[in-house]
């Protein structure tokens, strides 16, 4: 066999030990919230027919799809997002789905984007959508789930900027912008986050809007008041237990995607300045456009990597360094005692490593420290005679001779 | 946007609702056991340099690798197993890993195999390995973890066939088989599971062994006794809490892969006749062969799909049909009450769906029944006046007016 220089592909990541545990921790938290709202998990294959994905995300995005010909001559492609596969599911299984279909999906997607800080070619998406309902309550549930995830991980500073895409479109049209220019205008307005008002007005003018009208448009947006439907959705989300001050009416919030048709929102963690941590909204025509099945829908995508990074910065993630709670050391003469003791700990649900080699105690302590294991359990002459074990706290260096049941009691409390 | 006929690629699967939950349930059980033994999670990218994988699994397997040229002109390939990526990890991160490296990995792999019943092109592997230790205790831990997974999901009928590959090789060589023919002979012996003794002897003869010697070999294997090292490994696994009768000494167990160097094993669930549910053993040279780093190792791969299927057949998997424990119905006049009640249930960890539309109660009951939701909660005139909720059990059709706290108590007990 040939020997290959070990290397990870650019834009791809390995997750070892603590990093993998942190990701798992966040995924489990998100999953618990989704399930609590009665949403069903969905998993779709990594590969789809390429034709399902091409042309669905725009010409630029087509270039970022990982597509190839498989050995059977089929053009296939790696999952690019979770919305298009879900649209396929809705079409393919529509006779067996009970509508509205409330599903969540937490899977990796692949994009051949230029890798840069915080942008990877393989990354995790967390989506929740309600498909087949045009009830405002569905919008409220979507807002409530999204907010609940952040409240669940104790990021109570979460702000959700909300707007009504329909109202935005009406305001834009009322300024005299032509039907064809509406989405172009929305994309420019969407930059108000990153650019000054003057720069945005300049861009609107460069796109053909009269300067006066551009000013007027921005002013009208800035002084807009919530539409009745948006107000009602927010009220419902508050009744669903979300503090009212989580929601911030943002009449200039535009969202970059063209398919939104109603309520739109974006999550912001003020202390985390890299950017929004996800967003979504109502998209009543998209499923029909994608797979020819008429289905109103509302949902969101949560930025998993950014949320993880923010939670990390805010100190909300437990320290997952330790591979185990106890390292059980084994003296060859008393091997059977030590193995039985380890089995007892594990049976009680206490994560326990066994030191596998016959090495001096200082080597074993070094191993425990390197792996973040806080305690060592030792059974030698004295312990066997007294039917006890020695437990050493590696931080305080305190040692005590106790019964194994006492170790279980101590460890279960940690 | 174009409309595409919805279709899943051959050999790939969608997992909706209950199916996805069952898979998650089993994965969580497996994960808990791995963590209890102090093993660390590892996640490697879906894509690797194709050169890392090619030539590592044999010429036949090379044809099954999903490889392609990415947009940057690199030859890349989808993960084919978890051993080769782990070997890469060991080589790439060897300066930061504390040895022995005890890692588990639960990820999908892709093989362009001909799809057939029970064989998919995308399927999940569950591996645990101890890398960097030649201690017998490491072998015992691996056996104990593997067995513990089945005990954890209450498949106490699990049998683990064990053998010593070194002893097998010695026996084969002693029959006069040449060094070059040893692995070929092992592969033939490996078929004793599926073929009769006579057929295997015939195949040995066809491969050049004299008939008498073939007979002699099979007889010697059948009457073999456990090697000292295998005996000691089993004893240790028993001390680690595994019932002794789980282990079955199988002197003809061969395992099809060439890289094993010591203890080998295979898991069998007697009631499940499709085939083995995984296996493994010691492979002290493989990592060196793969990435040029000298590392003794022992581990296993657990057959996730088969284990799930067996657990299902044996009735060990909870019924995951229900999307939620309660369906909260909403009368428009009392919407605020209903939403607040739903929020209370969810806060108490009770999975609750809200019925989103304004439809008659029989439609709502139909929805609950279709989604397996066992109870409906209703708030109307009477309930608001008395500050109660109505809870209806859809199976018994029993209704009662209770306080929301009582609903929480009832539901928490289920």
**Which strands make up the sheet holding A352-354, listed edge to edge?**
A352-354, A326-328, A375-378, A389-393, A399-402
Nearby residues of A149 by Cβ (< 8 Å), 6 or more positions away: A29, A30, A33, A302, A307
Residues from chain A contacting residue B78 (CB–CB below 8 Å): 46
- Closest alpha carbon to A213 in A194, A185, A191: A185
| Region A232-250 average pLDDT | 98
Contact by Cβ (8 Å): B311, B30: no
Distances B346 to A144, A145, A155 between C-alpha atoms, Å: 11, 11, 18
Query: Would you place residue A28 in the very low, low, confident or very high pLDDT band (cuts 50, 70, 90)?
Result: very high
Nearby residues of B210 by Cβ (< 8 Å), 6 or more positions away: none
Give the nearest chain B residue to A322 (CA atoms). B38
Distance from CA of B252 to the nearest CA of A (A): 28
B368 pLDDT above the threshold of 70: yes
Q: How far is it, in rounded angstroms, from Cα B401 to Cα B387?
A: 10
Terminal-residue alpha carbon distance, chain A: 47
Look at residue A74 in the predicted model and tell me its pLDDT.
95
Contact by Cβ (8 Å): B47, A79: no
Look at residue B294 in the predicted model and tell me its pLDDT.
94
Look at residue B277 in the predicted model and tell me its pLDDT.
95
Query: Would you place residue A59 in the very low, low, confident or very high pLDDT band (cuts 50, 70, 90)?
Result: confident
B1/A239 CB distance under 8 A: no
What is the tens place of the pLDDT at every residue in A326-368? Answer: 999 999 999 999 999 999 999 999 999 999 998 998 999 999 9
* Percent share of chain B, pLDDT over 70: 99
Contact by Cβ (8 Å): B251, B163: yes
Query: Would you place residue A106 in the very low, low, confident or very high pLDDT band (cuts 50, 70, 90)?
Result: very high
| Region A294-302 average pLDDT | 97
Residues from chain A contacting residue B3 (CB–CB below 8 Å): 290-292
Distance from CA of B356 to the nearest CA of A (A): 6
B37/A353 CB distance under 8 A: yes
DSSP per-residue string spanning B154-212: T-TT-EEEEEEHHHHHHHHHHTT--GGGHHHHHHHHGGGGTS-HHHHHHHHHHTT--HH
Residues from chain A contacting residue B15 (CB–CB below 8 Å): 41-43
Q: Is B215 helix (H, G, I), strand (E, B) or coil?
A: helix
Q: How far is it, in rounded angstroms, from Cα A284 to Cα A114?
A: 32
Distance from CA of A300 to the nearest CA of B (A): 18
* Cβ neighbourhood burial of A63 (10 Å; 0-12, 13-18, 19+): exposed
Out of A17, A133, A141, the one facing B40 most closely (by C-beta) is A17
- Closest alpha carbon to A278 in A139, A149, A90: A149
| Region B219-228 average pLDDT | 92
Element (H, E) at A90: helix A83-92
Give the nearest chain A residue to B94 (CA atoms). A6
Token look-up 């040692």 returns A399
Distance from CA of A99 to the nearest CA of B (A): 8
Contact by Cβ (8 Å): B264, B248: no
Out of A14, A21, A239, the one facing B340 most closely (by C-beta) is A239
B7/A68 CB distance under 8 A: no
B219 pLDDT above the threshold of 80: yes
Look at residue A306 in the predicted model and tell me its pLDDT.
94
Out of A38, A74, A97, the one facing B352 most closely (by C-beta) is A38
Contact by Cβ (8 Å): B393, B412: no
pTM of the predicted protein model: 0.95
CB pairs under 8 A between A and B: 278
What is the tens place of the pLDDT at every residue in A120-157? Answer: 999 999 999 999 999 999 999 999 999 999 999 999 99
B14/A346 CB distance under 8 A: no
Distance from CA of B369 to the nearest CA of A (A): 10
Contact by Cβ (8 Å): B147, B246: yes
B77 pLDDT above the threshold of 60: yes
Interface with chain B: mutation pick from A9, A64, A74, highest number of B CBs within 10 Å: A9
Q: How far is it, in rounded angstroms, from Cα A263 to Cα A265?
A: 7
B346/A241 CB distance under 8 A: yes
Out of B10, B48, B108, the one facing A9 most closely (by C-beta) is B48
A4/B289 CB distance under 8 A: no
Query: Which parts of A44-195 are beta strand (E)?
Result: 47-49, 67-69, 75-78, 101-110, 122-131, 159-164
Out of B9, B108, B137, the one facing A48 most closely (by C-beta) is B9
A49 pLDDT above the threshold of 60: yes
Residues from chain A contacting residue B69 (CB–CB below 8 Å): 68
- Closest alpha carbon to B39 in B92, B108, B86, B94: B86
How wide is the angle at C-alpha A84 spanned by C-alphas A83 and A86, nearest 5°?
65
Contact by Cβ (8 Å): A46, A109: no
Query: Would you place residue A96 in the very low, low, confident or very high pLDDT band (cuts 50, 70, 90)?
Result: very high
Distance of alpha carbon B147 from its chain centroid, rounded? 13
Look at residue B92 in the predicted model and tell me its pLDDT.
96
| Region A250-276 average pLDDT | 92
Token look-up 């995790």 returns A124
Look at residue B1 in the predicted model and tell me its pLDDT.
44
Distance from CA of B11 to the nearest CA of A (A): 10
Distance from CA of A221 to the nearest CA of B (A): 31
Contact by Cβ (8 Å): A28, A133: no
A37/B335 CB distance under 8 A: no
Distance from CA of A323 to the nearest CA of B (A): 5
- Altogether, the residues listed in chain A come to a count of 414
A37/B351 CB distance under 8 A: yes
Residues from chain A contacting residue B56 (CB–CB below 8 Å): 1
Q: How far is it, in rounded angstroms, from Cα B225 to Cα B241?
A: 24
Question: Which two three-digit tokens encode residue A125?
Answer: 């998406």
Phi (first) and psi of residue A226, to 5 degrees: -60, 140
| Region B214-218 average pLDDT | 92
C-beta contacts of A410-413 below 8 A and 24+ residues apart: A411/A325, A411/A326, A411/A345, A411/A348, A411/A350, A411/A375, A412/A348, A412/A349, A412/A350
How many helices and strands in chain A, by DSSP H and E? 16, 17
**Which of B389-402 are b and which e, b meaning 16 or more Cβ less than 10 Å from the residue's Cβ?**
bbbbeeeeeeeeeb
Residues from chain A contacting residue B347 (CB–CB below 8 Å): 241
Range of weakest confidence among A2-16, A274-288, A355-369, B122-136: A2-16
A 10 A CB-CB count for B293 gives 16
* Average pLDDT over chain A, rounded to an integer: 94
How wide is the angle at C-alpha B5 spanned by C-alphas B3 and B8, nearest 5°?
130
Nearby residues of A222 by Cβ (< 8 Å), 6 or more positions away: A251, A252
Out of B8, B24, B347, the one facing A45 most closely (by C-beta) is B8
Phi (first) and psi of residue A314, to 5 degrees: -85, 5
| Region A285-299 average pLDDT | 94
Query: Would you place residue B127 in the very low, low, confident or very high pLDDT band (cuts 50, 70, 90)?
Result: very high
In sign, the C-alpha dihedral spanning A304, A307, A313, A316 is negative
Contact by Cβ (8 Å): B367, B326: no
Give the nearest chain A residue to B57 (CA atoms). A1
Interface with chain B: mutation pick from A36, A135, A369, highest number of B CBs within 10 Å: A36
């Amino acid at each position: 066999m040939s020997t290959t220089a070990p290397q990870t592909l650019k834009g791809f990541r390995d997750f070892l030990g603590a990093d993998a545990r942190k990701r798992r921790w966040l995924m489990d938290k998100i999953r618990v919230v989704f399930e609590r709202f009665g949403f069903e998990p969905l998993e779709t294959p990594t590969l789809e027919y390429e034709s399902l994905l091409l042309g669905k995300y725009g010409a630029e995005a087509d270039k970022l799809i990982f597509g190839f010909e498989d050995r059977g001559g089929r053009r296939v492609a790696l999952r690019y997002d979770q919305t298009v596969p879900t649209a396929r599911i809705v079409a393919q299984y529509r006779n067996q789905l009970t509508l509205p279909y409330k599903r969540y999906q937490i899977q990796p997607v692949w994009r051949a984007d230029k890798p840069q800080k915080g942008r990877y070619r393989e990354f995790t998406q967390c989506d929740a959508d309600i498909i087949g309902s045009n009830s405002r309550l569905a919008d409220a549930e979507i807002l409530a789930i999204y907010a609940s995830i952040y409240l669940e991980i104790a990021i109570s500073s979460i702000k959700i900027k909300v707007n009504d895409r329909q109202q935005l479109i009406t305001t834009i049209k009322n300024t005299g912008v032509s039907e064809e220019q509406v989405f172009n205008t929305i994309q420019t307005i969407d930059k108000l986050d990153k650019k000054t008002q003057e720069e945005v007005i300049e861009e609107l003018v460069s796109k053909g809007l009269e300067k006066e009208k551009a000013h007027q448009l921005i002013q009208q947006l800035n002084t807009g008041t919530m539409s009745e439907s948006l107000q009602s959705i927010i009220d419902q989300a508050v009744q669903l237990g979300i503090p009212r001050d989580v929601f911030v009416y943002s009449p200039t919030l535009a969202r970059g995607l063209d398919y939104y048709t109603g309520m739109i929102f974006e999550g912001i963690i003020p202390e985390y300045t890299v950017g929004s941590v996800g967003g979504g909204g109502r998209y009543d025509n998209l499923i029909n456009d994608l797979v020819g099945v008429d289905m109103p829908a509302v949902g969101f995508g949560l930025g998993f990597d950014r949320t993880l990074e923010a939670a990390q910065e805010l100190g909300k993630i437990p320290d997952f360094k330790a591979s185990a709670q106890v390292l059980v050391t084994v003296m060859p003469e008393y091997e059977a005692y030590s193995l039985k003791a380890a089995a007892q700990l594990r049976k009680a649900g206490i994560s326990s490593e066994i030191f596998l080699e016959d090495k001096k105690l200082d080597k074993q302590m070094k191993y425990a420290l390197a792996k973040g294991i806080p305690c060592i359990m030792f059974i030698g002459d004295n312990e066997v005679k007294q039917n006890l074990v020695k437990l050493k706290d590696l931080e305080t260096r305190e040692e005590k001779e106790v019964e194994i049941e006492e170790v279980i009691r101590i460890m279960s409390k940690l």
